[in-house]
């Protein structure tokens, strides 16, 4: 789609709208509370400590993360006028360590016909000559029909890139005939092929088939849709926020998005509007034919691998040239009621940035909180070699665990007592965890932590493992059970779970790390092979009244070989 001036914009709009009027229906991807969208917070209740968020109001997807001239930038979907989704702009924060954040003025906000109904998600790319550029989705009418726009920093010598310019020739990509205009959004970071073409993906769907549309450009302004999409999968619904990047087969370092060569695999992730979960595949990408073929080591549908089996959506990675790593951001929405969000004056956090790389198995990714988080570690305690016998429970005392980082390794005494695994459970870890919750006795496990727990455990979020015996191997299930996390009525308390790809018979032990931040619990099983995030709302287990316990509700004894727990200090957080 070419460069456009004011006159041709009108002609284009007329032509496209005629086409749209016949074949499009509007679809929203977020719950709409129209009457609350522009009700500013009158009071702001304090919330999380070290998770990214602005002082007030609604946030959703992380947008355009990048490292540029010594500064990390995070843009994000933000409602400047209220605590529910609406009035969406690109808010902007900067950091030198991804942990302490300073809020700037919104970078991109609706001003032009090509984005007047919203500036939705998108990505940043750093062009040759060290020139950052953003591609984002503009919403052009009340039916939420979408186009892709470009924006440039106004002044490259401003170290914070405060102001962004949206040229009048926008939009740079329109939904062509055959593309569903209300399901056409979230351009990726671009990568460059051997022919010098830039390529991006735009999320879409046809009927119930999720699609990653592929576009090519020589100059980043004129984009042409490729005949074939990069990938599609039937029955997965709208693909929001696609992400596509290379990972190294060896080592945990990251690769720049255009990197291509030996020893590289590619990852394609999509966020599924229908289930509000994401899934990814690991596969091979042919730069010349622009073909991506998943390896087939995990399902290519909504039962596939997830970065996070909990409350984690619309994620996006970027290559961090400072530390040669790839970093993942994801949005963790509230799971309380809209009234609660209005009352507290804010909604939504971004999870702690995680380094992401390919596991040595080549079958899945591994994630770990960025090392910079450790700079916030304060007072701590260490426990070693402590038995947790069957039905055992002991408290970890000595720190304020409402804002904490806990790392623990469990040694398993034996696997003889493992419960039998029914193969029909293999595709639904979450349902299995819902049936076999923390208080359901087992053979080997459930063992793990009670976090954000009240002294008498009336309130607790249980984070645990349970080990089963399948026909030829053991199956490890990791769970978050928040069913007792809050005495407050009406709070949504879903159990979340994923399987952990470890040979527990060989290792005899398994590690768990949980980041606890008042209403956020982010857990990393087996060194980051399986991750789960929950939002919980204790009413008793607050501040100094939040307790931390180790428990074992299985028949087999387990041992905590080491447990380290740190209080986490509050960083600079956008003034929140």
Shorter beta-carbon distance to ligand DQQ: residue 88 or 99: 88
Closest distance to ligand DQQ from the beta carbon of 509 (Å): 38
Asked if 460 and 467 count as a contact pair (C-beta separation under 8 A), the reply is no
Q: Enumerate residues 296-325 that contact ligand DQQ by CB under 6 A.
A: 313-314
Q: Which is nearer to ligand DQQ, 313 or 357 (CB)?
A: 313
Residue 66 in tokens: 């990048």
Smallest separation (angstroms) from ligand DQQ to the CB of 531: 19
Residue 60 in contact with ligand DQQ, rule: CB under 6 A? yes
Q: Read off the tokens for 349.
A: 């956090």
- Give the three-class secondary structure for 151: strand
Which of helix, strand or coil describes residue 79? Answer: coil
DSSP H or E run through 245 = strand 239-248
| 423: Cβ contacts below 8 Å, ≥ 6 apart | 470, 471
Could you say whether residue 278 binds ligand DQQ (CB under 6 A)? no
Q: Which of 61, 243, 341, 481 is catalytic?
A: 61
Six-digit token pair at 381? Answer: 């305690």
Beta strands in 35-183 (DSSP E): 57-68, 71-78, 89-95, 102-108, 119-127, 131-139, 146-153, 164-165
For ligand DQQ, the nearest residue by Cβ is 120
Structure tokens at 80: 């400047």
Cβ neighbors of 531 (< 8 A, separation 6 or more) are 307, 308, 309, 310, 312, 354, 367, 498, 522, 523, 524, 525
In the region spanning residues 227 to 266, those forming contacts with ligand DQQ, defined by CB under 6 A, are 240-241
Radius of gyration of the chain (CA): 24
Residue 137 near ligand DQQ by CB under 6 A: yes
Is residue 203 within 8 A of residue 278, CB to CB? The reply is no
Nearest distance from residue 123's CB to ligand DQQ, in Å?
11
Q: Is 61 assigned a catalytic role? A: yes
63 near ligand DQQ (CB under 6 A) = no
Relative to beta strand 444-453, strand 460-469 is antiparallel
Q: How far is the CB of 9 from ligand DQQ (least distance, A)?
A: 22
123 vs 252, beta carbon nearer ligand DQQ: 123
Q: Edge-to-edge, what's the strand order for the sheet holding 291-294?
A: 239-248, 264-272, 277-286, 291-294
Q: How far is the CB of 203 from ligand DQQ (least distance, A)?
A: 7
Spatial distance between the Cα atoms of 173 and 136, rounded to a whole number of angstroms: 10
- What x-and-dash track marks residues 94-123 binding ligand DQQ by CB under 6 A? --------------------------xx--
> Considering the rule CB under 6 A, would residue 88 count as an interface residue with ligand DQQ?
yes
Task: Give the number of residues in contact with ligand DQQ, rule: CB under 6 A.
Answer: 15
> Given candidates 77, 533, 534, 557, which one binds ligand DQQ under the rule CB under 6 A?
77
Per-position x/- string for 19-48, each x denoting binding to ligand DQQ as judged by CB under 6 A, each - no binding:
----------xx------------------
By beta-carbon proximity to ligand DQQ, the closer residue of 76 and 191 is 76
Cα distance between residue 72 and residue 68, in whole Å: 6
If one asks whether residue 61 binds ligand DQQ (CB under 6 A), the answer comes out as yes
Nearer to ligand DQQ, 186 or 372 (CB): 186
CA distances to 81, 121, 137, 200, 382 from 187, rounded to whole Å, are 25, 7, 7, 6, 46
Q: Is 186 in the site for ligand DQQ (CB under 6 A)?
A: yes
Q: Closest separation between CB of residue 331 and ligand DQQ, Å?
A: 7
Q: Which is nearer to ligand DQQ, 56 or 559 (CB)?
A: 56
Residues making contact with ligand DQQ (CB under 6 A): 29-30, 60-61, 77, 88, 120-121, 137, 185-186, 240-241, 313-314
The residues that are catalytic are 61
């Amino acid at each position: 789609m070419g460069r456009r001036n004011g006159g041709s914009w009108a002609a284009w709009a007329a032509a496209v709208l005629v086409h749209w009027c016949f074949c499009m229906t509007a679809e929203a991807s977020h719950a709409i509370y129209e009457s609350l969208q522009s009700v500013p917070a009158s009071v702001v209740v304090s919330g999380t400590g070290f998770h990214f968020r602005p002082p007030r109001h609604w946030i959703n997807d992380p947008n355009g993360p990048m490292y540029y001239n010594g500064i990390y930038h995070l843009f994000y979907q933000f409602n400047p006028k209220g605590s529910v989704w609406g009035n969406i702009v690109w808010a902007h924060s900067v950091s030198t360590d991804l942990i302490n954040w300073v809020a700037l003025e919104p970078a991109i906000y609706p001003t032009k016909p090509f984005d007047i109904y919203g500036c939705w998600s998108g990505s940043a790319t750093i062009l040759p000559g060290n020139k950052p550029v953003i591609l984002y989705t503009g919403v052009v009418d009340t039916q939420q029909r979408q186009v892709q726009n470009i924006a440039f920093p106004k002044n490259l010598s401003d170290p914070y890139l405060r102001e962004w310019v949206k040229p009048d020739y926008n939009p740079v990509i329109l939904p062509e005939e055959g593309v569903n205009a209300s399901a056409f959004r979230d351009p990726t970071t671009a990568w460059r092929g051997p022919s010098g073409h830039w390529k991006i993906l735009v999320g879409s769907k046809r009927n119930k088939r999720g699609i990653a549309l592929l576009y090519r450009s020589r100059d980043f302004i004129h984009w042409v849709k490729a005949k074939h999409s990069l990938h599609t999968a039937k029955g997965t619904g709208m693909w929001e926020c696609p992400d596509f990047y290379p990972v190294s087969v060896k080592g945990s370092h990251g690769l720049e998005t255009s990197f291509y060569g030996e020893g590289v695999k590619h990852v394609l992730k999509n966020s599924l509007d229908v289930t509000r979960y994401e899934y990814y595949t690991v596969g091979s990408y042919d730069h010349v034919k622009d073909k991506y073929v998943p390896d087939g080591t995990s399902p290519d549908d909504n039962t596939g691998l997830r970065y996070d089996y909990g409350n984690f959506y619309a994620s996006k990675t970027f290559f961090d040239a400072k530390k040669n790593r790839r970093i993942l951001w994801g949005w963790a929405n509230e799971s309380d009621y809209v009234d609660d969000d209005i009352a507290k004056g804010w909604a939504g956090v971004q999870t702690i940035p995680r380094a992401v790389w390919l596991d040595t198995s080549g079958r899945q990714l591994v994630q770990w909180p960025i090392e910079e988080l450790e700079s916030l570690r304060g007072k701590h305690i260490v426990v070693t070699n402590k038995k947790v016998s069957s039905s055992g429970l002991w408290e970890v005392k000595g720190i304020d665990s409402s804002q904490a980082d806990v790392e623990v390794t469990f040694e398993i005494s034996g696997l003889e007592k493992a419960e039998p695994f029914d193969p029909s459970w293999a595709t639904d870890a979450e349902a299995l965890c819902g049936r076999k919750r923390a208080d359901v006795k087992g053979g080997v496990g459930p063992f793990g932590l009670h976090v954000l727990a009240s002294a008498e455990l009336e309130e607790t979020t249980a984070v645990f493992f349970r080990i089963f015996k399948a026909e030829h191997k053991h199956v490890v299930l990791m769970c978050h059970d928040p069913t007792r996390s809050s005495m407050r009525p009406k709070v949504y308390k879903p159990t979340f779970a994923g399987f952990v790809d470890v040979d527990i018979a060989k290792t005899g032990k398994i590690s768990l790390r949980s980041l606890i931040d008042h209403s956020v619990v982010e857990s990393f099983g087996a060194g980051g092979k399986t991750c789960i995030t929950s939002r919980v709302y204790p009413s008793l287990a607050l501040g100094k009244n939040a307790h931390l316990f180790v428990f074992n509700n299985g028949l087999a004894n387990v041992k905590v070989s080491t447990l380290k727990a740190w209080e986490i200090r509050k960083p600079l957080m956008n003034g929140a």
